[in-house]
A and B are shown apart, each in its own frame.
Chain A
């Protein structure tokens, strides 16, 4: 069994339902995302179009993140999922240097690496990933790509020639496919990321990786102290006005 994803970008309408469902299902803290939907505007007004691209971990068959992880916190499951054991992770961020898709984040609450697991815990009990269930237009198709009769395999066969993966030149062999994508949507170098061009926010870089309230010393003191008054879940503490690049 090899579980895979396919997103039909012709169907996706950018409602971000999957993004929210993922956040809720996996308790993903503020400033972190396992799945995000990116809007890209193509052309010049009034001749413009807007595309929506859901981006998550590709569960690569030849995963550079798994290879570089010094303690096997990132590991393959038998069904092909690239899973992460946050209790073993040492927080070296090697995986963040290795994943060519920027799919891994340093969890600000646990100070360990985390990412989309294709909802491995739901799969285990026979359920679909949260983002698949919530999608109102069924743009997310999930299933066994080794089974010729699965919905995803049938979909791939029906769209032969039009199925793409991100950065195939990296030889990661992603198990996450797109239909209806193009260079502009799938290649991050083919579109610009300009400061001030975002609809609701002007942040381009995160201010911190991992817990913003934990400096280097705090990391050593963490086992002996409580979390203090800061809580990343509090919207009151979340400041989204910063524009400068991220720091350490």
Chain B
């Protein structure tokens, strides 16, 4: 009885300093989201090239590296802009600390972007040969493109290496999260798989947007990859949200979503919009090849993925650490 009348166990902070709020905010969400597209298109393209003839996807050879290049540059830009001392980014290359996944990731992502740039230049040179020969008036671009065109075979030689490198470039963010000992929610083994599913989801969604001229079979494969990726990613989010074994810190973190409020709305909105809806839309297009509907599913998946990542990034930062 006494425990109800005298709350001897109640403890309240009565004097303390203000704690930091959300430190890694929307720029890091955007950074992770863009990286998922940048590496995801490479995985999905590799699978499609293995399964189908090149003629079935006429623009894939140049569109894939162009999408990846743009996404990777968004990723690199926001990585840089988020630094409080952006010019000192160079220290990662001058004074690398190899136990840090941030260092290893920055080196790998830079190499990956370089290789993607080569693929893009060759892809564009081969696709728009006539333009670069006659239409283009900028001399350095002209000579670069003619050089790239004459080394067209390099594309196929480095592509397997790019696919291989895309795996650690996708996964290293999960290792940064695992190294973030103050945010236990991120330290789950599921995080690596979530990164890979996110890449497949974003990669297939991005390619769907440029697949208008592709064969029905190739597009069907894209719809299938998108459906599988959103299904498993959703299942993992649900597992983590409801059932998994959780430390007290992870439990307290999830309370920010469980308890309702803005993060609850954002999370469930993201789940419904980016995972549940695209699953049904994408599977339904597999039979009738409705391109518009599939594109709609792809856009929803990209928006939903951003929202889910945003919630997962921010909520652990709300927790008081000391």
| B102 beta carbon closer than 8 Å to chain A | yes
Q: When chains A and B are docked, how far (Å) is the Cα of A70 from the Cα of B252?
A: 29
* Stretch among B60-68, B177-185, B265-273 lining the A interface: B177-185
- Is A90 a contact partner of B85 (Cβ separation < 8 A)? yes
Encode contact with B along A87-131: 1 for CB under 8 Å, 0 otherwise: 011111110111111110110000110000000000000000000
Kindly identify, within residues 141 to 178 of chain B, every residue whose CB is under 8 Å from any CB belonging to chain A: 176
| B99 beta carbon closer than 8 Å to chain A | yes
| A248 beta carbon closer than 8 Å to chain B | yes
Encode contact with A along B1-29: 1 for CB under 8 Å, 0 otherwise: 00000111111111111111111111100
- Is B97 a contact partner of A47 (Cβ separation < 8 A)? no
B179 cross-chain contacts in A, Cβ below 8 A? 64, 67-68, 94, 98
Q: When chains A and B are docked, how far (Å) is the Cα of A125 from the Cα of B148?
A: 62
| A159 beta carbon closer than 8 Å to chain B | no
- Is A188 a contact partner of B320 (Cβ separation < 8 A)? yes
- Is B25 a contact partner of A103 (Cβ separation < 8 A)? no
- Is B12 a contact partner of A194 (Cβ separation < 8 A)? yes
- Is A193 a contact partner of B13 (Cβ separation < 8 A)? yes
Q: A94-B102, A101-B321, A248-B26 are in contact. Are A112 and B84 (CB under 8 A)?
A: yes
| B100 beta carbon closer than 8 Å to chain A | yes
B240 cross-chain contacts in A, Cβ below 8 A? none
Q: A90-B89, A93-B84, A248-B22 are in contact. Are A41 and B100 (CB under 8 A)?
A: no
B99 to chain A, nearest CB (A): 5
Q: B251: nearest residue on chain A (CB-CB)?
A: A189
Q: When chains A and B are docked, how far (Å) is the Cα of A198 from the Cα of B14?
A: 4
Q: When chains A and B are docked, how far (Å) is the Cα of A172 from the Cα of B22?
A: 24
The bracket for how many chain B residues form the interface is: 35 or more
Q: A43-B8, A102-B320, A247-B22 are in contact. Are A38 and B84 (CB under 8 A)?
A: no
Q: When chains A and B are docked, how far (Å) is the Cα of A165 from the Cα of B222?
A: 53
B27 cross-chain contacts in A, Cβ below 8 A? 248
- Is A245 a contact partner of B84 (Cβ separation < 8 A)? no
Task: Tell me which of A42, A93, A98, A101 contacts B322 (CB under 8 A).
Answer: A101
Q: B181: nearest residue on chain A (CB-CB)?
A: A64
Q: A43: nearest residue on chain B (CB-CB)?
A: B8
Task: Tell me which of B83, B97, B320 contacts A219 (CB under 8 A).
Answer: B83
Encode contact with B along A181-193: 1 for CB under 8 Å, 0 otherwise: 0001000111111
Task: Tell me which of A38, A43, A99, A210 contacts B15 (CB under 8 A).
Answer: A38
| B293 beta carbon closer than 8 Å to chain A | no
B19 cross-chain contacts in A, Cβ below 8 A? 102, 204-206, 246
A159 to chain B, nearest CB (A): 22
Kindly identify, within residues 293 to 322 of chain B, every residue whose CB is under 8 Å from any CB belonging to chain A: 317-322
Q: When chains A and B are docked, how far (Å) is the Cα of A210 from the Cα of B82?
A: 12
A-B contact pairs, 7 of them (CB 8 A): A40-B14, A68-B179, A97-B183, A191-B13, A197-B14, A199-B14, A220-B87
Q: Which residues of B contact A (CB under 8 A)?
A: 6-27, 81-89, 91-92, 95-97, 99-103, 106, 176, 179-183, 248-249, 252, 317-322
- Nearest 9 Cβ contacts at the A-B interface: A246-B21, A91-B84, A102-B321, A191-B11, A39-B15, A97-B180, A248-B25, A203-B18, A64-B181
